[in-house]
Amino acid sequence: MNSERSSSGNQSCVRVQLGDRSYDIQISSGEVGRFIDLILEAIPDLSHALLISDEAVESPWADQLKAAFEQKAVTVRVSDTSVRSGEGSKSIEEFNRLLQWILTEGGDRKSVVVAVGGGVIGDLAGYVAASFARGVRFVQVPTTLLAMVDSSVGGKTGINLPTAKNMVGAFWQPSLVLIDSDVLSTLPDRSYLSGLAEVVKYGVIDDADFFVWLEANALHLVNRQSDAVRYAIEKSCESKARVVGEDERETSGRRAILNYGHTFAHAIEATCGYGKLLHGEAVSIGMEMAARLAQRLGLVSDDLLQRQTRLLVECRLPVVLPEADPDQMLPVMMRDKKVEHGKLRFILPSQIGAVDLVGDVEKDFVREVILETR
Ligand code: GLY
């Protein structure tokens, strides 16, 4: 058992079980005002907080958190800075700027980094926390659905090199993850919906009952109905916590299941231009290609593909990509970390709620499913 869940009222807690690096994911709605108390409960000796937030996550959320910290000014010193939105901020230059900033602010090994924003902020601030003084504690406050259900949990932190995404980084677990689903009310539709792709992913790879729940509740999720959104975040975090608890550093292969659809998605993002599709949209099309490939290899019935397609469409996610070009995508896929001895390997479903790592996949099959998904 590598995750635990407890709940009361509009709050629940998922525990990531990692021995002395275990931590809670607190999920609530309308509780940003209480975050400061939860942080102080988890980190009682907090004396210096370093808030790093996305400049776009302005008020009310980041400001509310800042104000709450300032009320504790007698016991906690607060420094804050913001980072420009977008993948471009996951750079060596911004990493360097933040380390220098912590130094100027008088940070030391007792300082705690608090990352407020989406995946870019969490990855960047987490890597800064992992590196400053050989590692300081950090708290994740994700503000996008994608960050809430994926990147804020599990301790993957890092930055990009100019030609290689996420090439430099560290596994550095947060001390606490604080999620308030109300924060999503101000998220643009496209960003919110793209996060649903990762939510659907957990149903396919790990939790068949959750998949059935998603089929019945897709419309509530699309309409951001509060209870449904909170439940979907909880179930997603439970799956993520379970997988991370079993394979923290991606050594046994278990954690790789989280990359379902991602081999295709990364190739789509690289060849169709970053910025044209959001990550979750590319993952949705990637899951579609992966399920088609599983069907083509005789691993699943037509029913799985049909149910997954229907659910993704109900979540208003794209399931085809007219410009998908196998001649461009395949060379990118050959650089995937799962390639072994020049053979493509994929995370593919065996049934709803279970996936396997499938090796030695013929390039021709891959080419065909890309063409079928146009
Ligand atoms: N997002 C994949 C992982 O955390 O392993």
Give the C-alpha separation, 364 to 361, whole Å.
9
Centroid of ligand 1 to alpha carbon of 173 (angstroms): 12
Which of 121, 143, 140 is CA-nearest to residue 38? 140
**What are the CA-CA distances from residue 180 to residues 46, 79, 166 (Å)?**
22, 22, 27
Centroid of ligand 1 to alpha carbon of 278 (angstroms): 17
Q: Residue 75: its pLDDT value, please?
A: 81
The 8-class DSSP code of residue 87 comes to G
Q: Residue 339: its pLDDT value, please?
A: 82
Best substitution site from 258, 287, 337 to test ligand 1's pocket, by max atoms within 8 Å of Cβ?
258
Q: Is 156 a pocket residue for ligand 1 (Cβ < 6 Å)?
A: yes
SS3 116: strand
Q: Residue 59: its pLDDT value, please?
A: 55
**What are the CA-CA distances from residue 256 to residues 25, 213, 253 (Å)?**
21, 24, 5
Q: Residue 135: its pLDDT value, please?
A: 98
Please report the atom of ligand 1 found closest to the CA of residue 250. Answer: 5
Terminal C-alpha separation, the chain: 41
Q: Judge whether 48 counts as a catalytic residue.
A: no
Please report the atom of ligand 1 found closest to the CA of residue 153. Answer: 4
Tokens standing for residue 106:
């008088």
Give the C-alpha separation, 340 to 33, whole Å.
49
Low-confidence ranges of the chain (pLDDT < 70): 1-3, 8, 58-60, 273-274
Q: Residue 274: its pLDDT value, please?
A: 61
Q: Judge whether 165 counts as a catalytic residue.
A: no
Q: How deeply is 84 buried, as exposed, middle or buried, from its count of CB atoms within 10 A (0-12, 13-18, 19+)? A: exposed
Centroid of ligand 1 to alpha carbon of 373 (angstroms): 25
Centroid of ligand 1 to alpha carbon of 43 (angstroms): 25
184 Cβ contact list (under 8 Å, min separation 6) = 144, 145, 148, 192, 224, 229
Please report the atom of ligand 1 found closest to the CA of residue 240. Answer: 4
Tokens standing for residue 314:
């109900």
- What is the set of domains in the chain, with CATH numbers? 3-186 (3.40.50.1970), 189-372 (1.20.1090.10)
Q: Residue 148: its pLDDT value, please?
A: 98
